[in-house]
Amino acid sequence: MSTDKNETAAELQEEIAEELPAEPEKEAAAETEAPAEKKAAKKDEKKAAKKKEADKTAALEGEIAALNDKFLRVCAEYDNFRRRSQKEKDSLCGDIKADIVQKFLPVYDNLERALRQGTEDEAYRKGVEMIMTQFCSTLEKLGVSPIECLGEKFDPALHNAVMHVDDEEKGENEIVEVFQKGFMLGDKVIRFAMVKVAN
């Protein structure tokens, strides 16, 4: 019987111990441990968020740098294309102008021959002179200039020598006669001057 009483007393003590609140020291320790763990967890979360944000910022900065580089390359390519197009356009315009002027040069030659011919009709001569003056003025406005030849040194880049003569009075490679006048458009030769060269 006494053993039964002892067993029931032990059971009762256990029940009472379960129902009673935990010791104040243990509770306080548990409470202090919980906020410290929470603080550490929050710190870890903040570090992870900062790292994630830093990674995202670095990725965006890399993307911005790549796009900026691409933009600068496109700008440079466009600038080169614009310059090349302008150069080609100017070259083409000059070539077309030179081709057209070249087709009118036989008219110049015929007017020059007409002026060299003697005539008794002064009105006719005056008319041909006026046409020649107007034609030369038009060529000048187009940027076409005659190549100076007579008395100059022979230059194969400007002159076409069709005759050679020995003349002690003239200098070496001096042009003594012009058979057909040459013309230039800016720095480009449209027609070489046909000349006679001495010595």
What is the distance between the alpha carbons of residues 183 and 185, in angstroms, rounded to a whole number?
A: 7
Mean pLDDT value across residues 149-160:
92
Report CA-CA distances (Å) from 113 to 35, 55, 126, 137. Answer: 115, 87, 14, 18
Q: In CATH, what is the architecture of 57-142?
A: Alpha-Beta Complex (3.90)
Q: Which residues share a beta bridge with 144? A: 185
Q: Tokens 């060529």 label which residue?
A: 139
Residue recorded with tokens 């001096």? 174
Give residue 85's Cα distance to chain centre.
Answer: 10
For residue 15, what pLDDT band results from cuts at 50, 70 and 90?
low
- pLDDT attached to residue 70: 96
Between these two residues, 22 and 49, which has the higher pLDDT value?
Answer: 49
What pLDDT is recorded for position 17?
58
Q: What is the pLDDT of residue 6?
A: 58
In terms of pLDDT, which residue wins out, 9 or 135? Answer: 135
Q: Quick check: 173 pLDDT over 80?
A: yes
pLDDT 10s digits, 23-59 = 555 554 545 556 777 787 888 888 888 899 999 999 9
Q: Where are the domains of the chain?
A: 57-142, 144-199
Token pair for 45? 């979360």
- Whether 124 has a pLDDT exceeding 70, the answer reads yes
Topology of the domain comprising 144-199: Nucleotide Exchange Factor Grpe; Chain A, domain 2 (2.30.22)
* β-bridge partners, 35: none
- Name which of 146, 139, 143 is nearest 93 in CA terms: 143
Number of Cβ within a 10 Å radius of residue 72: 10
Least confident of 26-30, 37-41, 100-104, 193-197: 26-30
**Range in 28-32, 68-72, 172-176 with the lowest mean pLDDT:** 28-32
Residue 8 has pLDDT above 90, yes or no: no
Is 60 exceeded by the pLDDT of residue 91? yes
pLDDT at residue 34, rounded to an integer: 63
The tokens describing 128, both together, are 């041909």
- pTM value? 0.58
**b/e sequence 156-174, b meaning 16+ C-beta within 10 Å:** eebbeeeeeeeeeeeeeeb
Give pLDDT, residue 16.
63
